Chains A and B, each alone.
Chain A
Amino acid sequence: MLMTVQDLSVVFETDRGPLHAVRGVSFELEPGKTLGIVGESGSGKTALARALMGIVKNPPGRIAGGSVLFEGRDLVQLSEREMEDVRGSQIGFIFQDPMVSLNPVMRVGLQVAEGIFAHDSQIRKEEVRRRVLALFKSVRLPNPERCYSMYPHEMSGGMRQRVQIAIAVANSPRLVIADEPTTALDVTVQAQVLETLKAIQTDSGTAMIFISHDLALMRTVADRIIVMYAGRIVEQGLTNAVLDFPSHPYTAALLAAAPTLKSRGRRLSVIPGSLPSPLLLEDGCSFEARCYLSLNRAECGVRPVLAEVGELGSSSACHFSKEVSVHSTNFGDGGEDVS
């Protein structure tokens, strides 16, 4: 097991009380595999990503509990210095908006070089340059020589994202964590960048954690996925199993709410209500108020625990997971809003 996350919690102290962004999340990642983390805004996926990267802003945030075991070490316990060693060499990162994560006043070639140099101070300049050019080639940047001396703003979004990928894999990390890497890109460019990512992964056997709000995207990217809601995992399993045979009402509702190219003229199913406030730690199921399956049954007053369900190896945190079907017709009604 490359990474084992156990009961991870992230809390933000606000002046209205503690905000529970991530509540006891656990999962495992095998070497070379891709794990997709899916959730809407407020699901806690961003906070989770930050916690894994060790960049939760403290204050006001902090890791309130749990462990992140990576190659035998608990990342949560590491000092900042030790974490710096890990970042860029054992774990690489790709962020959503390369305009923000790339240094605008530094040529991109140098930025990649910096990453290499940071973890190998003995390396010779020519060797670094050679490696950067090789990296640029592997991320399919056209004309690597020319790209080396370009500034971020001179490149297109797709090219910048490739530079980020290059930085992330420069030191052959075992794991790459990508936080919404293609959300800001055009759809055709997104397809290209994802192809590149996949190619790199297959070549080097790197594992990946891919965070996104886009369920459909996961099919082409992830081996297994985790669906998050209100800071917790509500369902996890093999991608196709979860997307074709969801066993949690939230997953099913989310799938039904997404428009497809074939949904013309049809009303989309809607998830009524809104997220519960992350300031509260309620007792029962956090999805109950918006759940079409709950029907006010008493069991929902008790928080469901993630348990294996069905024969496809999925786990779901729902008392009625057996009743979940993506073909259910009685999802939430459209239009009513709780303002």
Chain B
Amino acid sequence: MDPLWLALFIAFAFALTALLAPWVAPYDPIEQNLSATLQGPSWANLLGTDHLGRDILSRIIHGARPTLLTSSIAVLIAGSLGISLGMISGYFGGLADALIMRVMDFLLAIPAILLALLVIVILGPGPSSAMFAVAVVGIPEFARLSRSQILSLRTREFVLASKSAGASTTRLLFRVLLPNSAGPLVAQAIVLAALAVFLEAALSFLGLGVPPPDPSWGQMVSAGKSYLQYAPGYSLFPGVAIAILILSLDVIADRIRLHFSGDENSITEAPTKAA
């Protein structure tokens, strides 16, 4: 079977469960049951319980929420900011371009986690800081991508044609250039979403994301590491969830990129029939 379908299914299932968490989860994620701590998988608790007797499955389901929230908002912020900066840079060039790109280069030079941590240090820990941290990590790549798209498209004849028909700069940017750059940008959005899942988990793992007792995947992995010997599921299950989601998102991103680069070629491909 085409792995794309599996990936799409997983991504949608994830989003759905995150949205409908309270109705899907079998238990209250923060309800403790100290008489049944660190249980392995059983009929009562499909994935077992953690060190406070809380149902791991329910915590994973609820833990999808901060992940979903952080990735979506981070992608939204990084996307709108990054793409706008890239468009300005690519279309107008000159000083603006030089300035913007130097800043982007600077951000890109810092490893993602370090950069995220830097933002957290400035903003203080918490779920909203995590969002901004991931957004900041994501902006430069969007900027670079949209800039290169704009650069390659702005001298194409159909853009010049619109310009020669009297189109204003705004119109050119938003109605002509942006839609034609959409493909790789959408793929990048998904790639960033996958990165966001990872970063959010990492930040939560370090205790800088969602504070307890609200569940988040990274935090669960972190908490579970003390019990790896006799209750490996505690760390393992949320870890697997993280991995599967990131993998699925990457597969989707890859496909989108492939699809759009194929489209690109068809613009220059000449059909064989005459007239």
Which of the candidate stretches B102-110, B129-137, B267-275 sits at the interface with the other chain? B267-275
| B275 pairs with A42, CB closer than 8 A | no
| B272 pairs with A337, CB closer than 8 A | no
Say yes or no: is A202 at the interface (Cβ < 8 Å to chain B): no
| B274 pairs with A337, CB closer than 8 A | no
| B275 pairs with A337, CB closer than 8 A | yes
Interface residues of B in 119-177 (CB under 8 A from A): none
Q: Tell me the interface secondary structure of chain A in the complex.
A: loop
| B272 pairs with A40, CB closer than 8 A | no
Contact with B along A259-301 (1 / 0, CB 8 A): 0000000000000011101100000000000000000000000
Say yes or no: is A156 at the interface (Cβ < 8 Å to chain B): no
Give the nearest-CB partner of A19 in chain B: B272
A40, B275: Cα distance in complex, Å: 11
Across the interface, which residues of B come within 8 angstroms of A42, CB to CB? Answer: 272-274
Say yes or no: is A220 at the interface (Cβ < 8 Å to chain B): no
Say yes or no: is A41 at the interface (Cβ < 8 Å to chain B): yes
Interface residues of B in 233-275 (CB under 8 A from A): 270, 272-275
Across the interface, which residues of B come within 8 angstroms of A40, CB to CB? Answer: 274
Across the interface, which residues of A come within 8 angstroms of B275, CB to CB? Answer: 273-274, 337
Across the interface, which residues of B come within 8 angstroms of A275, CB to CB? Answer: 272-274
A42, B273: Cα distance in complex, Å: 6
A337, B274: Cα distance in complex, Å: 11
Q: How far is the CB of A73 from chain B (nearest CB, A)?
A: 32
A278, B273: Cα distance in complex, Å: 9
Q: How far is the CB of B174 from chain A (nearest CB, A)?
A: 32
Across the interface, which residues of B come within 8 angstroms of A41, CB to CB? Answer: 270, 272, 274
| Residue among B270, B272, B273 with most chain A CB within 10 A | B272
Q: How far is the CB of B271 from chain A (nearest CB, A)?
A: 9
Contact with B along A31-61 (1 / 0, CB 8 A): 0000000001110000000000000000000
Q: How far is the CB of A267 from chain B (nearest CB, A)?
A: 16
Across the interface, which residues of A come within 8 angstroms of B273, CB to CB? Answer: 42, 274-275, 277
Give the nearest-CB partner of B270 in chain A: A41
Across the interface, which residues of B come within 8 angstroms of A278, CB to CB? Answer: 272
Across the interface, which residues of A come within 8 angstroms of B274, CB to CB? Answer: 40-42, 274-275
A275, B270: Cα distance in complex, Å: 15
A277, B274: Cα distance in complex, Å: 10
Q: How far is the CB of B133 from chain A (nearest CB, A)?
A: 43
A273, B275: Cα distance in complex, Å: 7
A-B contacts besides A273-B275, A274-B275, 8 pairs, CB < 8 Å: A41-B274, A42-B272, A42-B274, A274-B273, A274-B274, A275-B272, A275-B273, A278-B272
Give B residues with C-beta under 8 Å from A. 270, 272-275
Q: Could you jot down 17 A-B contacts, CB within 8 Å?
A: A40-B274, A41-B270, A41-B272, A41-B274, A42-B272, A42-B273, A42-B274, A273-B275, A274-B273, A274-B274, A274-B275, A275-B272, A275-B273, A275-B274, A277-B273, A278-B272, A337-B275
